[in-house]
Chains A and B, each alone.
Chain A
Amino acid sequence: MRTGLVAVVVLVPALALLVRSLRMMQLGDEAAKGLGVRVERDRLLLVLVAVAFAALATAAAGPIIFVAFVAGPIARRLTNDPLAIWTSALVGALVVVLSDILARRLFAPTELPVGVITGVVGAPYLLWLLARTNRAGRGG
C-alpha cells in the first residue's frame, strides 16, 4: 500500500512534467533539441522515473511478464495518440486485473500465477506485432 502511495505522490507528477519532452523526443533527438527540449537531461530523468515505476510495480506484485509490452500498443490504438501514456497505464492495470481473475478462476481451486495468463496473451501478440512490422518494412 505504501509503495502505491509513493508512486502516486512522487512518480506520477514527475512523469506528468516529463511527458511533454517525451512527446517531442518522438520526433528524433535533433528535432526535439531544435524545438527547445533538453534532450539529454530529460531522457535521463525519464529513465529514472521508468525504472522507479517498474521497481515499485515489481515490489508490489512480483514480476509479471508482457504487461508493459501489450499495454502501450493497445492504448495507442484506442486513443489514436502516438504516446498515450495515461491510457497505457490504465490498460496495463486492466490487463493485470483481468488476468488475475482468469488465473484464479480458470482451474479453480488451483490458482495459476498471473504471469502465465499475461504470457499466453502476450506471446502471440508479440509474434503478430513482429509479422506486421516486417510487412510494413518498419522492423528493427
Chain B
Amino acid sequence: MSKSPRLPTTLRGEDLSLGYGGFEVVNALSVSIAPGKVTVIVGPNACGKSTLLRAMARLLKPTHGTVLLDGTSIHRLSTRDVATKLGILPQSPIAPEGITVADLVGRGRYPHQGWFRTWTEADRIAVDGALEATGTLDLADRPVDELSGGQRQRVWIAMTLAQGTDLMLLDEPTTYLDLAHQVDVLDLLVDLNQREGRTIVLVLHDLNHACRYAHHLIAMRGGAIVAEGSPDAIVTAELITDVFGLPCQIITDPVSQTPMVVPIGRHLHVATEVEERT
C-alpha cells in the first residue's frame, strides 16, 4: 500500500449553495481541503456539515457553485474517475445479509475493475493491505452481521481504504461506538494519514476528539463556516458558545496539549455539593 510521492489530490468547493428540494441548507460557501492533512468538520445538528461532505463527494449536486477535484469540476468527471480519486464512507452504509468481510472489502475495488469483473493481483494486494491496516485480517472470512460495532466500522473503513484513493471522506465514523472504539477508529485514520499521506476529511460530533485529531478544524453553523484553522488557533470559549450556543470553558487537554471543551450546564450544584461533603 506504499504510496509513491506524488502531488496529493486537491479538493475545493467554490461558492456552494446546497439544499434538498428547494430548501437551502448551505448558502454560498467556499472551502478548501488541505492536502495530506486531517480535516475535521464540526457544528451543531442540521448545520449542513454532512450536506457539505456529501456535496464534496459528488453525492449531492449543488444548486449553485461547483466542487473542484484536482482543479476540474467534479460534475464534469465520470462517476468512476471520481471514485478512483475520492472515497466516501456515508453515515449508514448497508451490509448485505450474509456478506463476508473479505467480500465487502473487495467491493471497494469496483472503480478499478472493468465490465467483466476481473480480479487482478493489484486488487488482491489492495484488499489484503486494507485488511492489514485496519486490523481485520483475521476477520476476513467472518460474516459482517456477526461482528461488533467497532469491528464493523473498521471493516467499512477497510472497504474505503481498498478503493485506494488519496482522499477519504468519512461522515461521523465514530457514531454508535463506545469511547475506546471511537479512539481506536480515530487513531486508525491518523495512522493512514501519517503512514500513507492520505488526505482525510471527517465529520465529528465530539469536539475534544476533533481538537485532538484535526490538523485543520472547520466550525459550521447555519450552513456557513464560522471559523477554520488549527484547533489551537481557533477554539475559544466564545467560538464554542457562538457555534453551539453552549457556555463553556476551554482548558488544555492534559494528554495531547490541545484545547479541551468543558461545557457549563445548569446543574453545577451537583459537583459543589459533593465537594462540600468531602
Interface membership of A111, Cβ < 8 A: no
Please name the residue on chain B nearest to A31 by beta carbon.
Answer: B93
Measured CB to CB, the closest approach of chain A to B159, in angstroms, equals 8
Give the number of chain A interface residues (Cβ < 8 Å): 20
Measured CB to CB, the closest approach of chain B to A109, in angstroms, equals 44
Instruction: Give CA–CA (A36, B110) in the complex, Å.
Output: 7
Measured CB to CB, the closest approach of chain A to B104, in angstroms, equals 8
Within 8 A of A (CB), among B65-123: 79-80, 82-84, 87-90, 92-100, 103-104, 107-108, 110-111, 113, 115, 117
Among the interface residues A26, A31, A38, A76, which one has the most CB atoms of the partner chain B within 10 A? Answer: A31
Give the number of chain B interface residues (Cβ < 8 Å): 32
Measured CB to CB, the closest approach of chain B to A139, in angstroms, equals 13
Contact of B94 among A20, A26, A83 (CB under 8 A): A26
Please name the residue on chain B nearest to A35 by beta carbon.
Answer: B110
Instruction: Give CA–CA (A37, B82) in the complex, Å.
Output: 10
Contact of A34 among B57, B103, B113, B117 (CB under 8 A): B57
Interface membership of A28, Cβ < 8 A: yes
Residues of B within 8 A of A31 (CB): 88-90, 93-94
Consensus secondary structure, chain A interface:
loop
Task: Please determine whether B108 and A35 come into contact, CB atoms closer than 8 angstroms.
Answer: yes
Residues of A within 8 A of B117 (CB): 20
Task: Please determine whether A28 and B90 come into contact, CB atoms closer than 8 angstroms.
Answer: yes
Instruction: Give CA–CA (A138, B113) in the complex, Å.
Output: 32
Please name the residue on chain A nearest to B115 by beta carbon.
Answer: A17
Measured CB to CB, the closest approach of chain A to B123, in angstroms, equals 13
Interface membership of B163, Cβ < 8 A: yes
Task: Please determine whether A36 and B80 come into contact, CB atoms closer than 8 angstroms.
Answer: yes
Task: Please determine whether A23 and B79 come into contact, CB atoms closer than 8 angstroms.
Answer: no
- Extra contacts, 12 of them, besides A28-B93, A28-B94, A35-B108 (Cβ < 8 A), are A26-B99, A27-B104, A31-B89, A34-B57, A34-B59, A34-B88, A35-B110, A36-B80, A38-B79, A82-B97, A82-B98, A82-B99
- Shortest beta-carbon contacts, A-B, top 5: A36-B83, A82-B96, A36-B111, A30-B90, A34-B88
22 A–B contact pairs at CB < 8 A? A20-B115, A24-B110, A26-B96, A27-B96, A30-B54, A31-B88, A31-B94, A33-B79, A34-B59, A34-B87, A35-B83, A36-B79, A36-B80, A36-B83, A36-B111, A37-B79, A37-B110, A38-B79, A76-B97, A76-B98, A82-B97, A82-B99
Chain B residues packing against A (C-beta within 8 Å): 54, 57-59, 79-80, 82-84, 87-90, 92-100, 103-104, 107-108, 110-111, 113, 115, 117, 163
